[in-house]
């Protein structure tokens, strides 16, 4: 598919980095302000979708054989399960416990393992939404033979 007009391309060049940075902010401050992993992951996926729609898949050289977002989402959800299982090394016998030190409520580094969960769940949600978008809108199935 081809891209859009020159105004849309210029505005996208200016905006997509800011949206990506905003998504990272919402993920990393998920335990202090409203937001969290799901909201930030969706915003990051939104910035990539804006880039693809504005410039077109021809200009970005998207190939059907290699979908890296599918690899990213698999690795991210694997790391979430590994963090949940890592509580065994700290002596806690429960799956999915909050085992790192808690800290002071309101600081950026606090709340145990919750910021780690936020980051990797955000990565997984962003990659999954990007994979769904690529499969449904850009790489539709081949024409029937």
Partner 1 sequence: MEQSISIILIFMIVGAVYALHAKDLLSAVIACGIVGYGLVICFLLLKAPDLAIVQIVVETITLIIMVAVVLDSTRHELAVQVDTQGIINQIISFILIAGMFYFFYVSIQSLDVFGAHTVRMANAYIEGAAEKTGSANLVTGVIFDFRGYDTLGEAVILYTAALGVMTLLRIQGKK
Partner 2 sequence: MTVFLLCFILFLVGLYGVFTRRNLIKIVISLSIMEFSIFLMLILIGYIDNGIAPIVTPGDLNPIYVDPLPQAMVLTAIVIGLATTSMLMAIAIRLYRKYKTFDIREIKSLRG
Residues that bind partner 2 (CB under 8 A): 32-34, 36, 38, 42, 105-106, 125, 129, 132, 135-136, 140-141, 144
Say if residues 2 and 138 touch (Cβ distance below 8 Å): no
Q: How far apart are CA 143 and CA 119, in angstroms?
A: 39
Task: Determine if 28 is a binding residue for partner 1 (CB under 8 A).
Answer: no
Of 9 and 79, which CB lies nearer to partner 1 in the complex structure?
79
Question: Residue 98 is encoded by which pair of tokens?
Answer: 């909050």
Q: Which of 12, 16, 20, 35 binds partner 1 (CB under 8 A)?
A: 35
Question: Residue 78 is encoded by which pair of tokens?
Answer: 């694997």
Least Cβ distance, residue 132 to partner 2 (angstroms): 5
> Any residues with CB less than 8 A from the CB of 138 and at least 6 apart, and which?
1, 52, 57, 62
Q: How far apart are CA 35 and CA 143, in angstroms?
A: 41
Q: How far apart are CA 38 and CA 45, in angstroms?
A: 11
Task: Determine if 144 is a binding residue for partner 1 (CB under 8 A).
Answer: no
**Which of the residues 54 through 113 are near partner 1 (CB under 8 A)?**
64-67, 70, 73-74, 77, 80-81, 84, 96, 98, 102-103, 105-106, 110-112
Q: Which of 4, 8, 15, 39 binds partner 1 (CB under 8 A)?
A: 39
């Amino acid at each position: 598919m081809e891209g859009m007009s020159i105004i849309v391309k210029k505005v996208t060049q200016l905006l997509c980095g800011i949206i990506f940075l905003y998504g990272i902010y919402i993920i990393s401050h998920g335990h202090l302000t409203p937001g969290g992993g799901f909201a930030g992951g969706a915003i990051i996926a939104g910035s990539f979708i804006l880039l693809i729609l504005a410039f077109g898949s021809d200009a970005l050289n998207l190939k059907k054989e290699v979908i890296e977002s599918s690899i990213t989402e698999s690795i991210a959800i694997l790391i979430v399960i590994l963090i949940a299982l890592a509580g065994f090394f700290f002596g806690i016998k429960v799956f999915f416990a909050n085992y790192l030190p808690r800290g002071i409520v309101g600081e950026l580094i606090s709340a145990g393992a919750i910021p780690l969960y936020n980051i990797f769940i955000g990565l997984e949600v962003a990659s999954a939404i990007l994979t769904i978008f690529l499969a449904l809108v850009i790489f539709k199935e081949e024409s029937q033979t």
